[in-house]
Amino acid sequence: EPEVTQTPSHQVTQMGQEVILRCVPISNHLYFYWYRQILGQKVEFLVSFYNNEISEKSEIFDDQFSVERPDGSNFTLKIRSTKLEDSAMYFCASSELTSGLQDTQYFGPGTRLTVL
Amino acid sequence: QKEVEQDPGPLSVPEGAIVSLNCTYSNSAFQYFMWYRQYSRKGPELLMYTYSSGNKEDGRFTAQVDKSSKYISLFIRDSQPSDSATYLCAMTQYSSASKIIFGSGTRLSIRP
């Protein structure tokens, strides 16, 4: 069964460093998302991306964050200057954008980001 | 008032019991409702998806939506130890390409 993959599974970085989290969405999917989950808290929406541009972003997704689809398969989240509070699990998701009633978002296994 | 409220548990029941998980929400714009299951340090996995008030059944799982009360439920019949996980209620305004708003999750443990 097709699945969303994410690399790395765990990233440790120093505060102020840039990190890039990578995702390979399901191949025929057209809509891509990033969510994050701070330890012990709820999963929160960060951004959605369609047709090479951001469709929607949350207030969390400030100028420190950016997303890109550099080629036909990868979808990346870049944090320019990491802060301690960026430590979280980051989940990538993708959906097919069907015209029917159900457009399921499939989630990857996540990248655990630890900022020291 | 939080957009989506969910009792975090933990909830511990014996194997074979019926489990009831619930969420309330405040935003009447939510039209589509989901239940995700999340194992420790894994991504959320979709269990059930509903878009109208009433019940939807899938095997041992039943999702119930009451839009007038802004209340959704997930029932698990004949619970198994493998059902032990965190269950997240979730909802969106639109059927497709819409940000998901999650509840905080209920941690469920099924005792053998």
pLDDT of residue A1: 77
Confidence of residue B112 (pLDDT cuts 50, 70, 90): very high
Chain B nearest-CA distance from A110, in A, is: 6
Q: How many CB atoms lie within 10 A of CB A9?
A: 10
pLDDT of residue B100: 93
pLDDT of residue A83: 96
Q: Which residues contact B72 (CB under 8 A, 6 or more apart)?
A: B22, B23, B24, B25, B33, B50, B63, B64, B65, B66, B89, B91
Chain B nearest-CA distance from A25, in A, is: 14
Sign, CA torsion A20/A25/A29/A33: negative
Assess contact for B2 and B100: CB atoms under 8 A.
no
pLDDT of residue A40: 87
pLDDT of residue A80: 95
Q: Is the CB of B49 less than 8 angstroms away from the CB of A104?
A: yes
Q: In the predicted model, is pLDDT for residue B1 greater than 70?
A: no
Q: Is the CB of A106 less than 8 angstroms away from the CB of B95?
A: no
Picking from A31, A43, A98, the nearest residue to B102 by CB comes out as: A43
Phi then psi dihedrals of residue A86, to 5 deg? -80, -10
Beta partners for residue B62, in sequence order = B57, B75
Q: In the predicted model, is pLDDT for residue B8 greater than 60?
A: yes
Q: Is the CB of B46 less than 8 angstroms away from the CB of A91?
A: no
Residue type, B92: T
pLDDT (tens digit per residue) in B50-90: 888 889 999 999 999 999 999 999 999 999 999 999 999 99
R_g of chain B computed on alpha carbons: 13
Interfacial residues of B (vs A; Cβ cutoff 8 Å): 36, 41-46, 49, 51, 88, 95-105
Q: Is the CB of A106 less than 8 angstroms away from the CB of B97?
A: no
d(CA A91, CA B41): 11
pLDDT of residue A73: 87
pLDDT of residue A102: 65
Q: Is the CB of B99 less than 8 angstroms away from the CB of A107?
A: no
Q: In the predicted model, is pLDDT for residue B94 greater than 90?
A: no
Residues in chain A, pLDDT under 50: none
At residue B82, the 3 state secondary structure works out as helix
Lowest-confidence range among A14-18, B14-18, B41-45? B41-45
